[in-house]
Amino acid sequence: MFARIATRRSQARRAARVLHQQPVQVASEELRILMSRVEDLVDRLGSDADPELKRLRKRAETALSNARTAVAEGGAQLTSQVRDIAAQGQAYVRRQPLASVGLVALGMLAIGLWASRGMRSDDG
């Protein structure tokens, strides 16, 4: 019994680690699974003579098509935005190298202070 609980905990930790490290990949895989299940349901509706089933099938097919289009457009737009932001960051670093180094140093100082404050609160 305890082995099963430990296994579940380790599986949960492993899943959380993967989700934390690769959120976009996990989300896209979950979306792919959802879309495939909807496709299966639409296929199971078949082409029955019932007009209500035909209407529901048509709506599901339209929604699935719209979702595919939105995912494709969203991915392309996100990729474009990330490239633009990266290019802007590189251009800023090239124009202002000393300011960039100063910002990095300030950020590291803030993280150091935050971490040391967290360690002190753990001791007390």
Tell me whether residue 42 is in a domain. yes
Tell me whether residue 69 is in a domain. yes
Tell me whether residue 116 is in a domain. no
Domain, as residue range, for 25: 2-96
Residue 72: band (very low, low, confident or very high) from pLDDT cuts 50, 70, 90 = confident
**3-43: pLDDT as tens digits:** 555 577 777 777 777 766 777 777 777 777 887 888 787 77
- Which pTM does this prediction carry? 0.40
Q: Supply the pLDDT for residue 19.
A: 66
Tell me whether residue 103 is in a domain. no
Tell me whether residue 106 is in a domain. no
Count of structural domains within the chain: 1
Tell me whether residue 7 is in a domain. yes
Answer with the residue of higher pLDDT: 108 or 117: 108
SS (HEC) of the chain? CHHHHHHHHHHHHHHHHHHHHCHHHHHHHHHHHHHHHHHHHHHHHCCCCCHHHHHHHHHHHHHHHHHHHHHHHHHHHHHHHHHHHHHHHHHHHHHCHHHHHHHHHHHHHHHHHHHHHHHHHHHC
